[in-house]
Amino acid sequence: MTETRYDERTALLVVDVQNDFADPEGNLYVNGGDAIVPVINDEVAAARDAGALVVYTRDAHPEQTPHFAKDGGTWPVHCVAGTWGAELHPDLRRVDGPVIEKGTGGEDGYSAFSVRDPNSGEESATALDDILREHDIERVVVVGLAQDVCVQDTAFDATRHGYETLVLSEATRPVDLTPGDGARALQHLRDAGVTVT
Ligand code: VGL
Ligand code: ZN
């Protein structure tokens, strides 16, 4: 019963459902990323119908950033701000709600709650926590991409910030840079007190 998950004190966080992750032609395609879009759309509809807040996040990088392997980091070039790959997947259901962009200044970090200066390591908050507090949110439901990267870190931070946190694993998919990363991420989340379905 998706409807019962949502109310006015609950926010649905739709993490990084962008072409580079969710389209098979994307630069950092997450296996099955396209298959979860309809599942996420059902959640968006249920949340909207229940008066829950729907927040979308987007990874948004400059062309050069230590986040990318070519510049000393981990990942292939992806979600460069202003490109097709950074756009939300066209099949994703969009309703009114804030869109949080992460990384636009070249910051690193995977959680939707914070970014990190790659040189100094200094962390700073995004607008997300303030937005959730303004809306008197007590619970968050996290869906999207990728299960073992941004979904994981966002859900960790959500519990740390005191929100009751639910991850709908069927509405997420892992990068699995190392096989088993997704399963380990879900276990770590459970250990941290996150409810994982
Ligand atoms: C992500 C890898 C690199 C994500 C972002 O959104 O999960 N993964 N940047
Ligand atoms: Zn990224």
Q: Is the shortest distance between the CB of 149 and ligand 1 below 6 Å?
A: yes
CATH code at 160?
A: 3.40.50.850
Domain assignment present for residue 1? The answer is no
Extended beta strands in the chain, E state: 10-15, 53-59, 99-102, 114-116, 123-125, 139-145, 164-173, 195-196
* Active-site annotation holder among 23, 148, 150, 153: 150
* Residue 44 token pair: 């968006």
Residue 85: predicted pLDDT: 98
d(CA 110, ligand 1 centre) in Å: 6
pTM of the complete model: 0.96
Give the ligand 1 atom nearest the CA of 75.
3
Residue 120: predicted pLDDT: 84
Give the ligand 1 atom nearest the CA of 16.
6
Domain assignment present for residue 5? The answer is no
Domain assignment present for residue 2? The answer is no
Residue 1: predicted pLDDT: 52
d(CA 119, ligand 2 centre) in Å: 16
Domain that holds residue 142: 10-196
* Active-site annotation holder among 20, 79, 102, 108: 102
Residue 116: predicted pLDDT: 86
d(CA 15, ligand 1 centre) in Å: 9
Residue 108: predicted pLDDT: 79
Tally of domains in the chain: 1
Please give the Cα distance from 130 to 75 (Å, whole number): 29
Domain assignment present for residue 177? The answer is yes
Domain assignment present for residue 4? The answer is no
Please give the Cα distance from 64 to 115 (Å, whole number): 16
Residue 37: predicted pLDDT: 98
Residue 153 designated active-site: no
Residue 70 designated active-site: no
Q: Is the shortest distance between the CB of 75 and ligand 1 below 6 Å?
A: yes
Facing residues of 123 across strands? 116
d(CA 59, ligand 1 centre) in Å: 7
Q: Is the shortest distance between the CB of 16 and ligand 1 below 6 Å?
A: yes
Residue 16 designated active-site: yes
Residues 84 and 19: beta-carbon distance below 8 Å: yes
142-155 in b/e form (b: 16+ CB < 10 A) is: bbbbbbbbbbbbbb
Q: What is the DSSP letter of 51?
A: T
* Binned average pLDDT, 10 residues per bin, the chain of 197 residues: 82 98 98 98 97 97 93 94 97 97 84 87 92 98 98 97 98 97 98 97
Please give the Cα distance from 44 to 124 (Å, whole number): 28
- Candidates 95, 61, 100, 78; CA nearest to 19 is 78
